[in-house]
């Protein structure tokens, strides 16, 4: 529990940095402003982080109002920024966008989660063939990311029953035994995942032993390289 509180404090710390940058960049020139912040799904980390940003901004300046918008995820958020449906958004860092999008600050760490039911017999990603697997919604950044490891391991998506779901619904259905595995990009320390893995019936399966040179995951780094200075 203490590690979770520490992680939450770190996340909110990043939010504070974001708020300061936002206030300096925008509020300094305009004293009364309403901005829409496109966040994420119930059960994920985008929504609570966005709400923390909104509350911090409100406590610092009543003339700057942040409206948090629920969304399916990064792809929908990028679309909203591009078509004027939002002024701010939380995006997975590999999300495609046009030249109008600008990154403000890294805010939240995420990871590709590979979770299975213990009795499923799934011990590696190749074992997904013939199984039902929960993946992210088509309008989330997670959905696109999942295609890469399937291609890398030469798995035919037609041989796997992929079920596009929200984070919360995917965790609920996996817990209920409605499918066998979950392969989804999710923020670290997501509450829905912590609840799902608490009783030991569902656990993590490694995709590879490590992410360094010569590993099974090395080619994935060509498509999704590590941030400079990140630990392997």
Task: Write down the pTM of the prediction.
Answer: 0.62
Say which CATH superfamily domain 2-89 falls into. Answer: Periplasmic binding protein-like II (3.40.190.10)
CATH code for the part of the protein at 110-221: 3.40.190.10
In the chain, ranges of CATH 3.40.190.10 domains: 2-89, 110-221
**What pLDDT, on a 0 to 100 scale, did the predictor assign at position 36?**
94
For residue 7, the tally of other CB atoms under 10 A from its CB is 14
**What pLDDT, on a 0 to 100 scale, did the predictor assign at position 225?**
40
Q: What is the mean pLDDT of each run of 10 residues along the chain (232 residues)?
A: 47 51 53 85 81 87 89 87 91 77 75 88 90 86 76 85 90 93 83 86 77 48 38 34
**What pLDDT, on a 0 to 100 scale, did the predictor assign at position 191?**
81
**What pLDDT, on a 0 to 100 scale, did the predictor assign at position 180?**
93
CB 6 within 8 A of CB 56: no
**What pLDDT, on a 0 to 100 scale, did the predictor assign at position 21?**
54
**What pLDDT, on a 0 to 100 scale, did the predictor assign at position 228?**
35
- Over the chain, what HEC string results? CHHHHHHHHHHHHHHHHHHHHHHHHHHCCCCCEEEEEECCCCCCCHHHHHHHHHHHHHHHCCCEEEEEECCCCHHHHHHHHHHCCCCEECCCCCCCCCCCCCCCCCCCCEEEEEEEEHHHCCCCHHHHCCCEEEECCCCCHHHHHHHHHHHHCCCCHHHCEEEECCHHHHHHHHHCCCCCEEEEEEECCCHHHHHHCCCCCEEECCCCCCCCCCCCCCCHHHHCCCCCCCCC
């Amino acid at each position: 529990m203490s590690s979770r509180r520490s992680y939450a404090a770190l996340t909110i710390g990043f939010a504070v940095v974001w708020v300061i940058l936002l206030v300096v960049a925008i509020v300094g020139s305009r004293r009364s402003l309403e901005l829409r912040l496109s966040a994420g799904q119930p059960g994920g980390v985008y929504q609570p982080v966005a709400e923390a940003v909104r509350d911090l901004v409100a406590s610092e300046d009543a003339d700057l109002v942040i409206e948090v918008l629920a969304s399916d995820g990064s792809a929908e958020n990028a679309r909203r920024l591009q078509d004027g449906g939002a002024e701010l958004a939380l995006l997975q860092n590999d999300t495609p966008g046009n030249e109008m999008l600008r990154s403000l600050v890294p805010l939240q760490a995420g990871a590709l989660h590979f979770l299975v039911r213990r009795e499923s017999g799934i011990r590696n990603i190749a074992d997904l063939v013939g199984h039902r697997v929960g993946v992210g919604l088509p309008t989330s950044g997670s959905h696109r990311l999942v295609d890469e490891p399937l291609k890398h391991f030469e798995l035919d998506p037609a041989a796997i029953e992929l079920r596009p779901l929200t984070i919360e619904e995917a965790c609920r259905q996996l817990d209920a035994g409605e499918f066998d595995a979950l392969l989804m990009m999710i923020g670290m320390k997501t509450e829905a995942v912590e609840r799902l893995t608490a009783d030991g019936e569902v656990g993590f399966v490694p995709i590879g032993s490590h992410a360094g040179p010569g590993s099974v995951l090395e080619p994935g780094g060509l498509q999704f390289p590590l941030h400079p200075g990140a630990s392997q």
